[in-house]
Amino acid sequence: MESIYIRSNEEFTEKVIKADSPVIVDFYADWCGPCRMLAPTIEALAEEGKAVYKVNVDELPGLASDFEVSSIPTVISFKSGSEHKRQVGLADKKTILGLIE
């Protein structure tokens, strides 16, 4: 399985902004308890073949700022390169999947 972790702005552009289908991005931090609780859900979606990625806000603070992520976890869905929907805080799998509908 391809890595779900985005490590650069360029990689974000390639995998999210230029994507042909809807994409879910989890903005998180390693020290964040709710983020760690959400991680298995994001990983399960990736294993099911959904286009999901994780962005560490400590490693890419500019990217988090670009999308006005001020609380984590924040999960944003993108369609045609633009933000579609957003979920702030811990959420279940059904809620996360609802972001791409």
Domain boundaries, the chain: 5-98
- Mark whether 95 is an active-site residue: no
43-61 pLDDT tens trace: 999 999 999 999 999 999 9
Q: Determine which one of 24, 32, 60, 69 is catalytic.
A: 32
- Looking at residue 46, its pLDDT comes to 95
Find where tokens 């972001």 sit.
99
Cβ atoms 63, 55 nearer than 8 A: yes
- Average pLDDT estimate for 23-27: 98
Identify whether 32 is a catalytic site residue: yes
Which residue in the list 24, 35, 51, 63 is annotated as catalytic? Answer: 35
Q: Looking at the domain that runs over 5-98, which CATH code has it been given?
A: 3.40.30.10
Average confidence (pLDDT) over 12-21: 96
- State yes or no: pLDDT of 82 exceeds 80: yes
Q: Cα–Cα distance between 21 and 79 in angstroms, integer?
A: 7
Across all residues in the chain, what is the average pLDDT? 95
